[in-house]
Amino acid sequence: MTPARRTLSAWHASYDPGAAKTILNNGRPCRVVFDDTFDRSVLRGGPLTGAYRLRQLHLHWGSSDLHGSEHVIDGVKYAAELHMVHWNPKHGNFAGALKQPDGVAVVGIFLKVGNTPKPEMKRILEEIENIKTKGKEAPFLHFDPSILFPKSRDYWTYHGSFTTPPCEECITWILLREPIEVSSDQMAKLRSLSKNDENEPPSPLVDNWRPPQPLKGRIVRASFK
Ligand SMILES: [Zn+2]
């Protein structure tokens, strides 16, 4: 995408580590689930009006380090992409928010293979040992996902849909410019997850990303010049 250069205000996340609940392999992108029954972990500012509650985070990755991200910036594909999914409590519940144009806000962070892997990714990668096969779920307590943010808060934003069904046009994307680094070994660990359950032969959970959709006249704005 070629974003229009225009200044936007800063976004802020205020996450309660006590809201983290479980980590889960549902045969699709593995996810960490948070308590969203009240405003305990919220995202504000930037292109958003009001506070959005954190519901879950998940990762998309590829079958090699050369691809895996769902967004492509100026032709660059990253090894993985982390999505933090928030919803607007004014719509009552997540299902209701999915039907509203201002229902959901997703922070997207690129993962790039490099020499200085972000130590904060360790926790998720360690817990992966406990959810090797589809249907496995493990406790994932006391975790503040803001430790995964890169140093820079620069972002692109546009209005769009989920990359997986039901694809309602309900998402305000906040896509961070600066990637975080992971090692090639850490990527291999993600690929060691199986999309089959424990009674079936293992089948690597890879390429759980979808190719970028055409922007179709959507306006992409940047928070930086
Ligand atoms: Zn996603």
Query: Ligand 1 centre from 98 Cα, in Å?
Result: 14
Distance CA 70, CA 23 (A): 21
Query: Ligand 1 centre from 83 Cα, in Å?
Result: 5
CATH number where 181 lies: 3.10.200.10
In a domain, 36, yes or no: yes
Query: Ligand 1 centre from 107 Cα, in Å?
Result: 10
In a domain, 2, yes or no: no
Query: Ligand 1 centre from 67 Cα, in Å?
Result: 15
Query: Ligand 1 centre from 90 Cα, in Å?
Result: 23
Distance CA 194, CA 191 (A): 8
Q: Are 155 and 176 a contacting pair, CB within 8 Å?
A: yes
pTM: 0.92
In a domain, 218, yes or no: no
Query: Ligand 1 centre from 25 Cα, in Å?
Result: 14
Ordered per-residue pLDDT tens for the chain, 225 residues: 555 545 689 999 999 999 999 999 998 888 999 999 999 999 999 999 999 999 999 999 999 999 888 888 888 899 999 999 999 999 999 999 988 999 999 999 999 999 999 999 999 988 988 999 999 999 999 999 999 999 999 999 998 877 655 556 889 999 999 999 999 999 999 999 999 999 998 888 888 877 666 666 678 899 998
Neighbouring C-beta atoms of residue 208, cutoff 10 Å: 22
In a domain, 213, yes or no: no
Number of domains in the chain: 1
Query: Ligand 1 centre from 7 Cα, in Å?
Result: 26
In a domain, 108, yes or no: yes
Query: Ligand 1 centre from 85 Cα, in Å?
Result: 8
In a domain, 222, yes or no: no
Query: Ligand 1 centre from 58 Cα, in Å?
Result: 6
Query: Ligand 1 centre from 59 Cα, in Å?
Result: 6
Query: Ligand 1 centre from 173 Cα, in Å?
Result: 11
In a domain, 51, yes or no: yes
Instruction: List all residues 6 or more positions away from 39 whose beta carbon is below 8 Å from its beta carbon.
Output: 51, 53, 89
For 112, the domain range is: 11-199
R_g of the chain, CA atoms, integer Å:
17
**Residue reference for tokens 């406990």:** 130
In a domain, 207, yes or no: no
Tokens of 96: 């209701």
Q: Are 120 and 147 a contacting pair, CB within 8 Å?
A: yes
